[in-house]
Structure 1
C-alpha cells in the first residue's frame, strides 16, 4: 500500500480480512501518519519542496466531496513518485502564493517554467 495505489479494502478482500480493520491498523500502527510533520495543516495544504524541478504544471482538481484544490506538480516525474510539490485547498492566488513562499527561495529559483 505504500508503493502502489491499492486500497486497504482491496488488500483485505484478497487476503480474506476485514479491510476496514486493516486500514485502521495501517493508519494507526504501521504508517508514520501520527508523526507526520504536515498533519496539522494537511486538510488545507501539503508541501513537498524536495520534488521541485525546472518544469512544473499547475492545475485545479475537485475531489469526491466537491472541494477544489490547486495542485503543483513536477513535469519531470511524469506522474510517478515525486510528482506532487503542493496541494492547496481552493484557488485563490493569495492562498497559493502564501504556501509556495514556504519553499526556500533558492529552490524556487530552480523553476524555469510553469504551465
Structure 2
C-alpha cells in the first residue's frame, strides 16, 4: 500500500488547489502555456550568450 499512501499525501498536500478548481474553475493553464512559449523561444535562440539581449527580446515579443 505504499503507492496508495503516496497518493493520499499528494491529495492532502494539494487539497486547497483541487477545491479551488471545483469552486472557481480556475487552473494554471495560462501560466503553463506561457512557460511553453518561453521554452520554445529559448530553443529558437539557442547559442545566445548575451543574457540581457535574450531577456530584452523575450520582453519585446511577449510583453
Output the TM-score relative to the length of structure 2: 0.33
Whose strand proportion is higher, 1 or 2? Answer: 1
Structure possessing the higher radius of gyration over alpha carbons: 2
Per the normalisation by structure 1, the TM-score is: 0.23
Which structure shows the bigger proportion of residues in helix conformation?
A: 2
